[in-house]
Chains A and B, each alone.
Chain A
């Protein structure tokens, strides 16, 4: 019996968290029972991107895209679709506005404007089977490079493609390769940066989980281009599934002779080893990462010399991000001109973003450079959750900034985002609505930077902490106008006198929120109020008379005795003396206490 159907089940972290492994089992059992295992294959893929609607199951070649599949509907898919060829309507994505069912992935608005290059195989192939990667043109680019191109030609192609580093800085990849090629040394290294430190992002993780070979292939091509024989992938310990799939991929590639000695019978040898990071954001910075691979504390060192000259074990080292490497094979296969025809003048190709926060369709999107924020948030993202009002979108993680509504129509690339006081960063994109307090958000990122500063530079170590103290004061209602001045001054100092990118960018969230949401700072400082109702110390506590049964529980816990009332009668809070500890709010079992 020839294979007539494939069921692709999402095995990304999001879908696995909503039990897609079980869905896979149920599908397999059903198919076994119907004795169709020869004709119908069930396989687990990487993330489809549409995590909001997971678990996802796609049926090929019928090209039907099922969303929110649970055990029950998995059984139905076998019973109806697999056996009888009838589509299970209720599990087809429904367009919220038109209420139309859209069975094809490509017609769903979330996918319409996407161009998937780095994510080309995610959700299409089984990442644990090298043959599937090979069947999708995998390792063809490596073969072409090794047999038809000189290292200089490879570097030239990457330069002409206009590819820039996807790890945040946006440095032209071809130039970096060229610099490392020109450094004279018998031993050189390739490093893949998979530390993914942005605390709200999971692009690199999804590529490693969904298509690990594309990264290995990109690294091998880079190795050939610069003259390196060995590569390291530095992955964070928090990504066990990515590590697991990488291990499988490396051993399969070795078995097939695509890694190791004399690859494809040429005299090029290249092998890869995984190094596990141990939870320090600063290790994403390239010099710190190198120190960490060497087994020490991951502290940055002064540049120059750049890793291209003096890197790992003092040898010339080329370090690129996961997504950067994943872009390389398609550039070789389809040509530099194809790649550079996508995007804007100075930023070519696509960028993967992890779209999250208060948006309807949370997930992973890959869009051409130059798309507007509005298109991403409203067309792909389906707008703001619960019909709330958009307030800001944060890009660039702790190094980036918050962009307000008036700039939603900016076409985004590395340079336009910088001009807005934010950053492309690695691709985190968090949407915020009217319920988010921008002062509190700035504080959140600054807390992160304080935790993660390695402590080498005084400006970064002490300056960030001073700024955080001021923000704490402001959110507690103790801020004064001088504090705002001080905050700005400190921010500039930290930016100017820090050694590495962490300190140089950590004030960005504060500066950008002060620039675009100054009125919220003023409300906290002058009116002692938090317009979004987030900062607990600025909230006012009330007892709702209709709900209060007079149980006296709140009066008993109030540490300053400002709740008055007779037993079984409605109680009242004397707000004058209230210290806003929130004890009464947590204690009341009748939901009679609110805070606004």
Chain B
């Protein structure tokens, strides 16, 4: 497997998962989902590996991976911040919170802080509209977030 320029242990983990699927037809999205769970993102070589394993064109894998916003082809920061941009959060000023987070992390282009510690993303309605605006860091939900609280929240993850 040396020809793939990615972590071998992880690749073997993915291979085991693919081998365990009985019904390979229609399995691509599930496989990509698993691959992202293992690698944190979907490097080109992993996509190629999946294509060969499932016996489909690499272009199809790429086409599916780019279609769904859940999949990412960029490496992610150590901590992933998700700002809810659902309507309830939006009308309660989620855009201001996002602006503050980017400012605090000095992110101008893209969505990763220079030190690789944080990736900032948005998502839509996490189902906690009662707590709008909502920010999630690595799956932990922070509710009724105020602009002034942003720094404190980030500090929790800065060690």
Contact = CB atoms under 8 A, between A and B. Distances in A.
A397 interface: yes
Interface residues of B, number: 39
B143 interface: yes
A430 B87 contact: yes
B30 interface: yes
B27 interface: yes
A409 interface: no
B127 A362 contact: no
Interface stretch (A292-300, A473-481, A484-492, A570-578): A292-300
B87 A280 contact: no
A17 B33 contact: no
Interface string B64-94: 1001111100000000000001111111100
B53 interface: no
Given A52-B130, A54-B130, A205-B127, A298 B87 contact: no
A278 B88 contact: no
A200 interface: yes
Contact of A202 (B27, B30, B64, B129): B129
Interface string A49-91: 0011010000000000000000000000000000000000000
Given A276-B33, A296-B64, A432-B91, A238 B129 contact: no
Contacts of A356: 87-88, 129-130, 132
B107 interface: no
Contact of A280 (B68, B86, B88, B128): B68
B131 A430 contact: no
B102 to A, nearest CB: 11
Nearest to B25: A295
B88 A362 contact: yes
Interface in B120-145: 123-132, 134, 141-143
B122 to A, nearest CB: 10
B156 to A, nearest CB: 15
B3 interface: no
B131 A298 contact: no
Contacts of A275: 29-30
A297 B67 CA distance: 6
A432 B92 CA distance: 10
Contacts of A463: none
Interface string A203-246: 00110000000000000000000000000000001110000000
Given A17-B134, A238-B123, A295-B25, A357 B64 contact: no
Given A200-B86, A293-B26, A14 B127 contact: yes
| Residue of B91, B130, B131 with most chain A CB atoms under a 10 A cut-off | B130
A200 B88 contact: yes
Contacts of A362: 88, 129-130, 132
A513 interface: no
Contacts of B128: 13-14, 17, 51, 202
B125 A201 contact: yes
A17 B131 contact: yes
B70 A206 contact: no
Nearest to B100: A586
B63 interface: yes
B33 A397 contact: no
Interface string B85-118: 1111111100000000001000000000000000
Contacts of A238: 70, 123-124, 126
A224 B120 CA distance: 47
A14 B91 contact: no
Contact of A295 (B64, B124, B127): B64
A183 interface: no
B46 interface: no
B107 to A, nearest CB: 14
Contacts of A278: 29, 32-33, 68-71
B103 to A, nearest CB: 7
B51 interface: no
Given A52-B130, A362-B132, A237 B86 contact: no
A18 B127 CA distance: 13
A237 B33 contact: yes
A428 B91 contact: no
Interface of B: 25-30, 32-33, 60, 63-64, 67-71, 85-92, 103, 123-132, 134, 141-143
15 contacts: A51-B130, A199-B87, A238-B126, A277-B68, A278-B32, A278-B68, A279-B68, A293-B26, A294-B26, A295-B29, A297-B67, A363-B130, A428-B87, A430-B87, A430-B91
Given A201-B86, A202-B129, 19 more contacts: A13-B141, A14-B130, A17-B134, A17-B141, A18-B143, A198-B125, A199-B86, A200-B86, A200-B88, A238-B123, A278-B29, A280-B67, A295-B28, A296-B28, A354-B129, A356-B130, A357-B91, A436-B91, A448-B124
The 5 closest A-B pairs by CB, nearest first: A200-B87, A51-B130, A356-B88, A279-B70, A278-B68
